[in-house]
Amino acid sequence: PQLSVRKAGTAQRVVVDLSAPNLAKEMHVGHLRSTIIGDGVANVLEFLGDTVIRQNHVGDWGTQFGMLLAYLQEKPATSDELSDLENFYRAAKQRFDESEEFAERARGLVVKLQAGDAECLTLWTRFKDISLSHCQQTYERLNVKLTPADVMGESAYNDDLANVVNDLKATGLLVESNGAQCVFLEEFRTADDTPLPV
């Protein structure tokens, strides 16, 4: 009944983590590769009788949202302008790269966002929803079985961060780098052999 394919052993519950785009930016080929391969693996496992939980851990927290918030303060945008989030992001990124004052303001807005500032959260939700809508359109075009219910963003872990940061400080692993709290592990290095923050 299954094209002569038989499941070895008993059916299992399997989590497949796929796609994982950074919101507020267009998906790139790396995300598409993960999306297609992950969906293919999930489909095969389902065909073999496993229960598959698809998870899409999106990058919905961080500097890119600070840039968008700061740019929106400078250049209020209409809903139509925000619907083209990629162009809005490019303009914000250009300001971030060209102006240290803008970059500092953007980093400050990330801190406010992560601290739960109501205005920042409202705008962040708007950016996030627009971006997820674009991602969902791509999934539907590709016939990928990802839904909004499968999304788990980095922001979901925000409430747990204070305890993690305190634990890392207590062990002496946490250092400040460019205004961010980072852990540098020797085994993670960039192409030019400098430690990569994790």
Query: Distance between CA 99 and CA 93 in Å, rounded?
Result: 10
DSSP 117-132: -HHHHHHHHHHHHHHH
Query: Distance between CA 72 and CA 65 in Å, rounded?
Result: 10
Closest residue by Cα to residue 183 from 192, 193, 166, 195:
195
Q: Has 134 been annotated as catalytic?
A: no
Q: Has 57 been annotated as catalytic?
A: no
Set 25, 57, 112, 145: catalytic member: 25
Set 7, 28, 75, 169: catalytic member: 28
Q: Which residues contact 97 (CB under 8 A, 6 or more apart)?
A: 103
Q: Has 28 been annotated as catalytic?
A: yes
Annotated catalytic sites, by residue? 25, 28, 31
